[in-house]
Structure 1
């Protein structure tokens, strides 16, 4: 069964139309990429002054963090006071506390890191 020549002509015309559209889209995309590349500047090509103009500092929580005060057993604990208290601890306890509370490590992971038992690590960070 041979296809109708008129149908075949329509299929060829449609295929040519699709190929033309795809070709034009590819050309537009390549032209757009070249245009962006011509305008684009890498950080290594910038001067130090230009690079410094690109950043900003977010100070939204700066004032709020300075005013944060915790109350425990009727005493006011500021972040500065807490930091000083942590600094006065022995090195092993300080590391265990920092890893547990600030790095999110569990007792088993810290014990492997210090090459000691899990109960020892639990004792070190629970006393604080």
Structure 2
């Protein structure tokens, strides 16, 4: 728990009991998860407090949100380079059409997109849809 507490403090987040529980859950996930996924897997979770915790994590560069085209926002831990000033983990996300899980692919970076003069980027994302390695092995 000390390591989780240090992680929150490093991101300038006050380590409350709920935030520690949420971070512990997120650290153990291999895929991006929705608020509902988190809520269903934690005992006695207040939805508003959970939402505020995730919002704080996002604002401080601890988690990033993912729009995988399902209409349900997912969240995953950020790379260490993300800060309060902004997210710097421009990596590809992969949505498996078989198991319907969303994976961060941090080693697959989004190439720099040059915009015409006068355009200002607010967000960049790249989503690849297909069959993940596990599903390919299982259903091949």
The interval holding the TM-score normalised by the smaller chain is: under 0.3
The structure with the greater share of residues assigned to helix is 1
The structure with the greater share of residues assigned to strand is 2
TM-score, structure 1 length as denominator?
Answer: 0.27
- The one of the two structures with greater contact order (alpha-carbon pairs below 8 A, sep at least 6) is 2
TM-score, structure 2 length as denominator?
Answer: 0.25
Structure number with larger C-alpha Rg: 1
